Amino acid sequence: MHDISLYIVHDMKKPFAKFRTRALQLAVLLSLPFAVFAAHEDKEHAFTVGKNMQVFNEIYSYLDLMYVDTLDADEVVGTAINSMLRSLDPYTVYYPEDEVNNLRMMITGRYVGIGSVIRYNQKLKRVVIDEPYAGNPAAEVGLKKGDIILSIDDSTMTDKTVSEVSSKLRGDAGTTFVLKVMRPSTGKEMEFRITRRSVDMPAVPYYGLTRDSIGYLNLTSFTEDCSKDVRRAFVDMKNKGMKGFVLDLRGNGGGSLSEAVNIVNMFVPKGITLVKTRGKLKRANNDYVTSVEPIDSVMPVVVIVNGESASASEITSGSLQDLDRAVVIGTRTYGKGLVQLPVDLSYNGQLKLTTGKYYIPSGRCIQAINYRHARGGYTEHIPDSLTKVFHTAGGREVRDGGGIKPDLEVRPDSLPNIAYYLTVSGLDSTEVLLDYEIDYIASHPTIAAPGEFEISDADYEEFKQRVVKSGFTYDPESERALNTLKKIVKFEGYYDDAKTEFEALEKKLKHNIARDLDMHKEMLKDIISNDIVAAYYFQAGAVENSLKHDKQVKEAFRLINTPAEYNAILDGTYKQEAKEQEEEKD
């Protein structure tokens, strides 16, 4: 779900009949004599389109008739379609009938299955349960993190990929199957009878109030009706005395444009034009205007974003920024200013089609990349020097292109290279982290509440010893960079003069797993604790646990508790550079 090509902006309530009609008209006209077609379109363009369509049909006809091997039409033509679309942009995607459910899941956040993340265990070469979702079949029957999937009904799964196992776990709502697993902590094989049902991926996995009455809400996607969930959560916290609100959009790749408009409308008055979409067809253009009175138009609001906040996340954060209604903090967003519409195709396929760009209240479009279609397609990043200045409602300068630049830049702590190799699935063949977490869970029937739990120093020492003994290795960036530099210096003939210095540096940078684990102890403890909490308290617990050590969230809370600074940012008198220099002196 983190593939950027999956991020959609669309209005699900908009009828698409006129787009289908247009496509059918074009298909019919292409089959008519050129003279008739020319009466409807520019002659030169129409001729070029017709010629290439005819040539393509002829080529495939000859391939099908005469090529040495029998061709699979779905595969060959599908490859041609996908190659054509790749030359346009990463968001225009063709979904044949057997993949349409993937598109529907992205739009609605729903699918039919058991409600669990699965992953491939590199050490066992098996697909395993990774994270069941609260309130769904996998969790209800008692599946646990690390359970090895052996079979589904009579089909063996021990030689299957994650994709193959996933397709077998999904099916029609109400159908029942027998899932056979082996629990690694006991070595016992277990059978579970599971009934598939509609699984709702939670758009709001967690919300809650801090001790000083600041509300926090984590929004992971803009799926259908997510604005209702946000509204309910906001009202609930407001009724409990909330005095400030933090909306976390980090990692949120977007979704429904109309849901974004509904969320912004919670904080700004009725009758404001938030988004304008503009494309080739004027009848496809739309203006999205706030339609109801806000829930709260004065409470301090902070929105947290990062480089994975895209499309509808950028509409939400950018609109609130343009209207001076919220302070945006974090790091610059992805920069997706394009709009897609799903269009029905023949034989139950669908095309997710880029139809235009969107513009937020200041009039800017924040698209960061220009997609060029010549030479099979290529991209051009828009440099900051070519962006244009726009102004917020209060007169602050903002720029187009390159995403939403936060009002207050707050960078997260970087992930150490050793942590990256230990935690990213597929990089560690020993699976030492997963094995440790499975054993910890098996030996601890209960743990502390999500906001309090963390593994002890003794627990971490046990984990460290396991890693050292497991044979775990990783590629340190410093060592790689040094080796690259050595090759360059040798090529240029300077190595002999610098040999002593290189040897001394190599000794200092020598790979030492135990030392690296000690150096990054606190961050690794946080990662392990968060994984363990998820096994007991699911997604909500994991989010709550992560807030204890989240640098950006802490800054959002601090900002709400510092009204003078919050207001100075919104009225344009705040200077982050001056504050950073002052902090350095202190």
Cβ neighbours of residue 94 closer than 8 Å, sequence gap 6 or more: 78, 81, 82, 85, 345, 349, 350, 351
Which residues, 6+ apart, have CB-to-CB distance to 87 below 8 Å? 373, 376, 377
Three-state secondary-structure class, residue 541: helix
C-alpha R_g of the chain: 27
CA distance 448 to 536: 10
The active-site residue, picked from 89, 147, 229, 322, is 322
End-to-end CA distance of the chain: 43
Show the tokens assigned to 456. 């002890």
* Residue 283 backbone class (left: φ over 0; alpha: ψ -120 to 50; beta: rest): alpha
Q: Are 288 and 346 in contact (CB under 8 A)?
A: no
Active-site residue identified among 336, 352, 405, 525: 336
CB atoms within 10 A of CB 354: 19
Instruction: Give yes or no: 311 in active site.
Output: yes
Q: Which amino acid is at 320?
A: L
Coil, strand or helix: which one is 321? helix
Cα separations in angstroms, 449 against 73, 143, 542: 56, 21, 11
- Short-list 582, 585, 584, 579, CA closest to 559: 579
Specify whether the CB–CB gap between 309 and 334 falls below 8 A.
yes
Question: What is the distance between the alpha carbons of residues 497 and 223, in angstroms, rounded to a whole number?
Answer: 62
Cα–Cα distance for residue pair 194/403, rounded to 1 Å: 44
CB atoms within 10 A of CB 43: 12
Across 169-260, the runs of DSSP E, i.e. the strands, are 176-183, 188-195, 197-200, 206-209, 214-218, 244-248, 255-256
Q: Which of 116, 151, 256, 311 is catalytic?
A: 311
Q: What is the separation of C-alpha 193 from the centre of its chain, rounded to a whole number of angstroms?
A: 32
- For this structure, is 322 an active site residue? yes
Quick one: which of 244, 248, 292 has its CA closest to 268? 292
What is the token pair recorded at 530? 């968060």
Close Cβ partners of 109 (under 8 Å, ≥ 6 residues apart): 200, 201, 202, 203, 221, 223, 224, 226
Q: Strand 397-399 vs strand 369-372: parallel, antiparallel, or unpaired? A: unpaired
The Cα 60–Cα 111 span in angstroms is 36
Exposure letters 287-314 (e unless 16+ CB within 10 A, then b): ebebeeebeeeebbbbbbbbebbbbbbb
Cβ neighbours around 585 below 10 Å, total: 5
18 is a catalytic site residue: no
Neighbours of 257 (CB within 10 A): 26
Cβ within 8 Å of residue 41, ≥6 positions away: 29
SS3 state of residue 117: strand
Query: Is 123 in a helix, a strand, or coil?
Result: coil
Residue type at 295?
A: I
**Amino acid letter for position 201:** M
Active site residues: 311, 322, 336
